[in-house]
Amino acid sequence: MKRVRCPKCDTYVVFDETQYTDGQSLVFVCRHCKKEFGIRIGKSKLTGIHSERTLDEQAYSQDYGSIVVVENQFAFKQVIPLSMGENEIGRYIKGTNINKPIETSDPSVDTFHCVIKVEKTKTGELRYTLRDAPSETGTFYMNTILRDNDRIRIEDGGIITIGATTLILRAAGNKEY
């Protein structure tokens, strides 16, 4: 099953891509806003711009680790690669200016909820630090709520809860989740 996002309201339309052949054009009508839009099935001609790798492959190709979204209303796994510096995490809404959006309809996740900072120590090891944005519902690390000024070091496998959504930190090089 594939999902495409409505260009007007960002609602997903789900369809079975195995029923169609490469090069075939499809037209969809968004059930939320009634916008009609089309797509073409097949590989992108912009291979230099758009990578054909899966989310997992993208996450593993990064040297900075990732977060795994293990719980959300859409019930699909999300792997979000981390980058060096501040990774701003929150709920995706069209026009949001964060660099690591989570696709969820969980209203208790703010559009800018927390930050995971990735930096190298003097010995060259990666260090992960978590802080709240601050958010309305708070950020929890291993069931402990962070206050607005708290900065906490997080380790591989650490459980972060934002709203009703749970994230697991996967440190660089760890592919076990």
Domain residue extents for the chain:
2-40, 55-170
Which of the four pLDDT bands, split at 50, 70 and 90, describes residue 8?
Answer: confident
| Residue-wise pLDDT tens digits, 111-161 | 999 999 999 999 989 999 999 998 999 999 998 999 888 999 999 999 999
- Do residues 122 and 104 lie in contact, with contact meaning Cβ atoms separated by under 8 Å? no
Which of the four pLDDT bands, split at 50, 70 and 90, describes residue 32?
Answer: confident
CATH topology of domain 55-170: Tumour Suppressor Smad4 (2.60.200)
| Residue-wise pLDDT tens digits, 47-73 | 333 333 344 444 444 478 999 887 655
- Do residues 87 and 66 lie in contact, with contact meaning Cβ atoms separated by under 8 Å? no
- The closest alpha carbon to 78, from 89, 87, 70, 88, belongs to 70
Q: State how far Cα 25 lies from the chain centre.
A: 28
DSSP 8-state class, residue 64: S
Please report the pLDDT score of residue 70 as a whole number.
75
Please report the pLDDT score of residue 119 as a whole number.
95
- Which residue bears the tokens 């999300």? 78
Please report the pLDDT score of residue 110 as a whole number.
92
> Strand ranges (DSSP E) for 92-147?
100-102, 114-120, 126-132, 139-141, 144-145
Count of beta carbons in the 10 Å neighbourhood of residue 13:
17
